[in-house]
């Protein structure tokens, strides 16, 4: 899952500077690396994706977080956006859609 | 007020037949008068429920008056004369000279029927309906008054009715707040047909708009919009100092916006942009003018666009590896244009269910009276839209279910009282949307189905083993929906339903839907028809098993996920899917299909299927994407194909079978 989004982004010329397996790791990594963009799964072990977004936005209100969601998670995605996520992509991932969303967020 | 004593029906007809080819307008007249007749029936029902109401009388009067004018214009003298008599009586009701009695209501209902029959016969050129004079006499008798032989139509209203007639039908009843007026500008947004999680995307648009200024009203309401499962058109009012073009580009930047239009409402300061495709902007406004189109023409358009969608897919694959930027650009534009064309054609086929549901209150009333039942009938979700051809198809099954409910579901008033229930039974017909499906539900609070009798009968017929002691809803449904059972039992002998459920089930399955049943003894029965929103093109998840691809309509797909050892567990020796806090049964499509090969947990994906409150996981080799598929029905469902509801042609030109998810669950 992570590798898939990573692959799509790398092929498009982005550099993946860090990966996290849990929500709390993601928050730590963010503080450490200050990336231009974060892609975040909604469901993650430990601290969930939505809480992680909240933490990250608290730390950096300008943080750009792109949610990765599955079908049927409408309510969760809305919650993530309320928590500060900027956009979302839906699985199964289509590279063009992922890149479109990334451009919008970075735009 | 000028009285036009010269406007006799004959006179009008003469005037018209000289100038207008009336046959050309006959069908138009028929459909226009249907609307009036349906208004008449609605008003009569309202009047019967609340005889002191003034509004229904006005509505009746106006509708009958319009019918009179229209019929006279067409030269249907008998119908016009009848409408005139009816109008005279209604005038007396309106002025309070006539009191409403049960007898009068019956006469009015009969008159509405005669009027309808008269219109049909007149259009078909079959002459006057037989009961015309009889009902007229009855009306006169009940009204106790004398009728006036000449038409006393007011010239102005008369010419209005005639002049407005080839034209504009009224809009659908407003379900959402009126945004036409208010502070700020009106922003209308239409989403791209391939929008993913459209509800969330719409929410993002509103979020964005809130960053631009004050959002003062949203239609449909935000909560509803946010839950939307299919791409939508929506609108909101925005109070902002930003320019129209800045608002538009900001909204487009939220993604998946096909069209955005900023105006003051009511047609002032119009401006519209279309996304980067160079299409002519075609803003669809609420007060739009309407044109009537032959249904066959829409069907042809639908077939053509279906073929075009398949070709688009093929073309995209063929040009993908080409590396020619000019070709790519044209291809992308063409693909988008085809998409827009498709959504426009689909939208033009959608009609609100009230167009068919509106005749049901009358039907239920008549059935209830005939059977001496007391029934309060409610219709909910009238504004929900369905493909025209689908709506036509479900009319009959729904009539069947309603009749069944009145006849066998709801008990006689005395029986209800004896059981401590209110005398009046409740019958509800609801249309609602759930994901890309439309649900049509008939619910009664009657006696429910007598399971023990169904069970013993089913055992007699050898449909159920002798060891079965109880039927759950699903088994119950399977039994009563089987053709053998229905015809084998005399309906009135069975306290519950029976006859015709098999026909309902067959019809609904043919349309790609499923029927669900819930029945609680003593409390009532609910039957739900779960239908696709449209027949021809549906959105589906494509999955691969054993090298073959299969399409699963999104109607029944709740979500998808990758196989993980944490999610798939064994409970009591059975494989299950643990999804958040739910435990779902797990099936392997490979086993279901008896396809060769073995599932590889490393790469397998799981599709979570849902039908009503039944869910299950379905393991496939790989998910290959989502796509609009053009459904090609089989000529007949053969035994070996019971798993599939049809076939489709995918982008690469290869066929794929469409899995009938209903049969898996």
Q: Are residues B15 and B139 in the same domain?
A: yes
- Check if A94 contacts B (Cβ < 8 Å): yes
Calpha distance B199→A76 (Å, rounded): 12
B123-142 average pLDDT score: 73
Q: Which domain holds residue B214?
A: 185-274
pLDDT tens for residues B230-265?
788 888 988 888 888 888 888 988 888 888 888 876
User: Do the beta carbons of residue B405 and residue B444 sit within 8 Å?
Assistant: yes
B159 and B66 in contact (C-beta within 8 Å)?
no
Residues B367 and B462 grouped into a single domain: yes
pLDDT band at B649 (very low <50, low <70, confident <90, very high): confident
3-state SS, residue A78: helix
Flag whether B25 is in a domain. Answer: yes
pLDDT of residue B281: 37
Cβ contact B196–A92 (<8 Å)? no
Per-residue HEC secondary structure of B474-541 comes to HHHHHHHCCHHHHHHCCHHHCCCCCCCHHHHHHHHHHCCCEEEEEEECCCEEEEEEEEECCCCEEEEE
Of the pLDDT bands very low, low, confident and very high (cuts 50, 70, 90), residue B147 is very low
**Nearest by CB: A74 against B197, B253, B554:** B197
Residues in B closer than 8 angstroms to A75, CB to CB, are: 227
Residue B389 located in a structural domain: yes
Last residue of a domain, one of B504, B532, B560: B532
B624 to A69: CB separation less than 8 angstroms, yes or no: no
Among B310, B332, B348, give the residue marking a domain's end: B348
* Residues B380 and B472 both lie in one domain: yes
Residue B271 has pLDDT above 90, yes or no: no
Nearest to B253 among A73, A91, A107 (CB): A107
Q: What is the pTM of this model?
A: 0.51
Within 13 A of A17's CA, how many CA atoms are on the CB side?
10
- What is the pLDDT, as a whole number, of residue A3? 67
Q: Is the pLDDT of residue B351 over 60?
A: yes
Do both B62 and B39 map to the same domain?
yes
Residues B585 and B507 in one domain: no
Tell me what pLDDT residue B128 has.
Answer: 64
CB atoms within 10 A of CB B146: 8
Q: Considering B241, B274, B307, which residue would you say is the last residue of a domain?
A: B274
Decide if pLDDT at B17 tops 50: no
**Domains contained in chain B, number:** 5
Phi, psi of A52 (to 5 degrees): -60, -40
Contact of A67 with A89, CB cutoff 8 Å:
yes
Residues B39 and B119 in one domain: yes
Residue among A74, A97, A104 minimizing CB distance to B200: A74
Q: Is residue B268 domain-shared with residue B309, that is, in the same domain?
A: no
Q: Express each pLDDT in B403-439 by its tens digit.
A: 888 888 899 999 999 999 999 999 999 999 886 788 9
Residue B1 domain flag: no
Residue of B411, B332, B400 lying closest to B373 (CA atoms): B411
Residue B595 within a domain: yes
Do you find a cis peptide bond into B432, omega within 30 degrees of 0? no
Angle (nearest 5°) at CA B351 between B348 and B355 = 145
549-608 in chain B: CB under 8 A from chain A: 554, 557-562, 605, 608
Check residues B59 and A53 and name the one with the higher pLDDT.
A53
Which pLDDT does position B443 carry in this prediction? Answer: 95
What local confidence, expressed as pLDDT, does residue B489 receive?
Answer: 43
Task: Among A4, A45, A72, pick the best mutation site for testing chain B contact (most B Cβ within 10 A).
Answer: A72
Q: How confident is the model at residue B286 (pLDDT cuts 50, 70, 90)?
A: very low
Same domain membership, residue B54 and residue B153: yes
Q: Yes or no: is domain A2-106 CATH 3.40.50.2300?
A: yes
Q: Are B409 and B525 in contact (CB under 8 A)?
A: yes
Give the percent of chain B with pLDDT over 90.
10
Q: With an 8 Å Cβ cutoff, are B559 and A70 in contact?
A: yes
Look at residue A36 in the predicted model and tell me its pLDDT: 92
**Residue B5 pLDDT > 70:** no
Q: What is the pLDDT of residues B378-411, one digit of tens each?
A: 999 888 888 887 888 888 889 888 988 888 889 9
Of A78, A94, A100, the CB nearest to B255: A100
Confidence of residue B349 (pLDDT cuts 50, 70, 90): confident
Cα–Cα distance between B412 and B372 in angstroms, integer?
7
As a whole number, the mean pLDDT across chain B is: 77
The single-letter DSSP state of residue B251 is H
Cβ pair B153, B188 in contact under 8 A: no
B199 → chain A, closest CA residue: A74
Q: What is the pLDDT of residues B463-503, one digit of tens each?
A: 777 787 887 877 787 777 775 565 444 444 333 344 477 77
By C-alpha distance, the chain B residue nearest A102 is B255
Q: Tell me: pLDDT of B13 over 70.
A: no
**What are the helix (H) ranges across B102-180?**
102-124, 132-143, 155-163
A92/B199 touch (CB, cutoff 8 Å), yes or no: no
**B198 pLDDT more than 50:** yes
> Does residue B157 lie in a domain region?
yes
Q: Nearest Cβ partner of A70 from B199, B560, B625? A: B560
Q: Are B543 and B623 in contact (CB under 8 A)?
A: yes
pLDDT exceeds cutoff 80 at B636 = no
Confidence class for position B144, pLDDT limits 50, 70, 90: low
Share of chain B above pLDDT 70, in %: 81
**CATH number of the domain where residue B595 is located:** 2.40.50.180
Looking at the complex, does the CB of residue A90 fall below 8 Å from at least one CB of chain B?
yes
Q: In terms of domains, do B263 and B227 share one?
A: yes
Q: Which residue has the higher pLDDT, B130 or A9?
A: A9
Q: Which of B45-49, B278-282, B286-290, B628-632 has the lowest mean pLDDT?
A: B278-282
Q: What distance in Å separates the CA atoms of residue A74 and residue B179, rounded to the nearest whole number? A: 26
How far is Cα B123 from Cα B76, in angstroms, rounded to an integer?
8
pLDDT in tens, B298-343: 888 888 888 888 888 788 878 877 778 888 888 888 988 988 898 8
Asked if the structure places residue B621 within a domain, the reply is: yes
Q: Exposed, middle or buried, B21 (CB in 10 Å: 0-12/13-18/19+)?
A: exposed
Q: To the nearest whole percent, how much of chain A has pLDDT over 70?
A: 97
Q: Is residue B172 part of a domain?
A: no
Give the residue from A92, A101, A106, A107 with the most B CB atoms within 10 Å of its CB, the best one to mutate: A92
Do B338 and B365 share a domain, yes or no?
Answer: no
Domains of chain A, residue spans: 2-106
Residue B282 lies in a domain: no
Residue with the bigger pLDDT between A70 and B408: it is: B408
Cβ distance B255 to A71 less than 8 Å, yes or no, reads no
pLDDT single digits (tens) B556-613: 888 888 888 778 888 888 888 888 878 889 999 998 888 888 877 778 899 999 876 7
Report the alpha-carbon distance of residue B236 to residue B216 in Å, rounded.
Answer: 7
pLDDT at B640: 55
| Over residues B449-468, mean pLDDT | 79
In which band, very low, low, confident or very high, does the pLDDT at B24 lie, cut at 50, 70 and 90? low
Give the count of Cβ contacts less than 8 A between chain A and B: 58
Same domain as B159, residue B31: yes
Of B148, B154, B132, B10, nearest to B89 (Cα)? B148
Q: Which of B1-15, B120-134, B149-163, B460-474 has the lowest mean pLDDT?
A: B149-163
């Amino acid at each position: 899952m992570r590798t898939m989004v990573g692959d799509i982004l790398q092929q498009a010329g982005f550099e993946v500077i860090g990966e996290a397996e849990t929500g709390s790791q993601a928050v730590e990594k963010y503080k450490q690396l200050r990336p231009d963009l974060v892609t975040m799964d909604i469901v993650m072990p430990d601290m969930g994706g939505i809480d992680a977004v909240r933490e990250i936005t608290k730390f950096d209100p300008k943080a750009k977080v792109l949610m990765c969601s599955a079908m049927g998670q409408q309510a969760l995605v809305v919650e993530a956006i309320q928590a500060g996520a900027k956009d979302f992509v839906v699985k199964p991932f289509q590279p063009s859609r992922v890149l479109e969303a990334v451009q919008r967020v970075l735009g | 007020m000028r009285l036009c004593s010269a406007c006799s029906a004959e006179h009008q007809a003469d005037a018209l037949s000289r100038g207008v080819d009336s046959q050309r307008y006959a069908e138009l007249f028929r459909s226009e008068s249907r609307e009036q007749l349906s208004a008449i029936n609605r008003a009569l029902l309202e009047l019967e429920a609340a005889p002191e109401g003034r509004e229904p009388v006005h509505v009746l009067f106006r509708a009958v008056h319009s019918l009179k004018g229209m019929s006279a214009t067409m030269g249907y003298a008998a119908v016009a004369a009848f409408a005139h008599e009816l109008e005279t009586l209604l005038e007396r009701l309106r002025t309070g000279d006539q009191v409403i009695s049960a007898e009068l209501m019956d006469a009015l209902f009969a008159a509405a029927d005669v009027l309808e029959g008269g219109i049909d016969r007149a259009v078909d050129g079959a002459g006057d309906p037989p009961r015309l004079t009889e009902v007229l006499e009855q009306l006169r008798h009940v009204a106790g008054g004398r009728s006036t032989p000449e038409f006393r139509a007011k010239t102005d209203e008369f010419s209005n009715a005639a002049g407005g007639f080839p034209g504009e039908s009224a809009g659908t009843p407003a379900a959402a707040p009126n945004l036409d007026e208010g502070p700020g500008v009106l922003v209308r947004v239409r989403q791209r047909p391939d929008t993913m999680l459209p509800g969330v995307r719409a929410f993002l648009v509103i979020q964005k708009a809130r960053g631009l200024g004050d959002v003062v009203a949203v239609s449909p309401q935000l909560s509803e919009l946010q839950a939307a499962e299919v791409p939508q058109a929506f609108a909101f009012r925005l109070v902002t100092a930003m320019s129209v073009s800045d608002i538009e580009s900001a909204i487009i930047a939220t993604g998946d916006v096909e069209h955005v239009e900023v105006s003051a409402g009511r047609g002032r300061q119009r401006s519209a942009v279309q996304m980067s495709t160079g299409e002519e902007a075609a803003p669809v406004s609420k007060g739009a003018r309407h044109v009537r189109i032959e249904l066959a023409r829409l069907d042809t358009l639908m077939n053509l666009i279906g073929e075009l969608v398949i070709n688009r897919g093929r073309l995209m694959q063929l040009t993908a590896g080409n590396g020619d930027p000019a070709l790519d650009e044209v291809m992308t534009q063409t693909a988008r244009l085809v998409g827009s064309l498709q959504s426009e054609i689909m939208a033009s086929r959608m009609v609100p269910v009230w167009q068919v549901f509106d005749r049901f209150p009358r039907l239920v009333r008549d059935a209830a009276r005939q059977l001496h039942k007391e029934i309060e009938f409610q219709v909910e979700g009238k504004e929900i839209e369905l493909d025209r051809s689908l709506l036509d198809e479900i009319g009959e099954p729904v009539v069947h279910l309603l009749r069944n409910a009145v006849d066998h579901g709801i008990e006689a008033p005395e029986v209800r009282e004896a059981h401590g229930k209110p005398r009046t039974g409740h019958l509800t017909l609801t249309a609602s949307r759930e994901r890309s499906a439309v649900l049509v539900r008939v619910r009664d609070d009657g006696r429910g189905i007598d399971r023990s009798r169904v069970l013993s009968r089913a055992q007699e017929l050898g449909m159920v083993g002798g060891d079965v002691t109880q039927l759950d809803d699903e088994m119950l449904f399977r039994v009563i929906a089987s053709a053998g059972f229905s015809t084998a039992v005399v309906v009135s002998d069975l306290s519950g339903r029976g006859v015709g459920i098999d026909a309902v089930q067959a019809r609904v399955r043919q349309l790609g839907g499923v029927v669900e049943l819930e029945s609680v003894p003593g409390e009532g029965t609910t039957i739900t028809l779960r239908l696709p929103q449209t027949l021809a093109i549906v959105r589906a998840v494509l999955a691969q098993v054993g090298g073959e691809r299969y399409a699963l309509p999104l109607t029944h797909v709740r979500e998808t996920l990758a196989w993980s050892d944490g999610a798939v567990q064994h409970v009591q020796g059975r494989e299950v899917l643990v999804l958040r806090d739910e435990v779902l049964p797990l099936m392997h499509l490979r086993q279901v299909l008896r396809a060769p090969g073995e599932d590889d947990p490393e790469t397998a994906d799981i599709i979570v299927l849902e039908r009503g409150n039944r869910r299950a996981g379905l393991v496939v080799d790989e998910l290959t994407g989502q796509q609009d598929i053009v459904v090609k029905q089989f000529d007949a469902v053969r035994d070996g194909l019971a798993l599939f509801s049809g076939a489709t042609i995918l982008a690469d030109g290869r066929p794929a079978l469409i899995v009938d998810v209903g049969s898996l669950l």
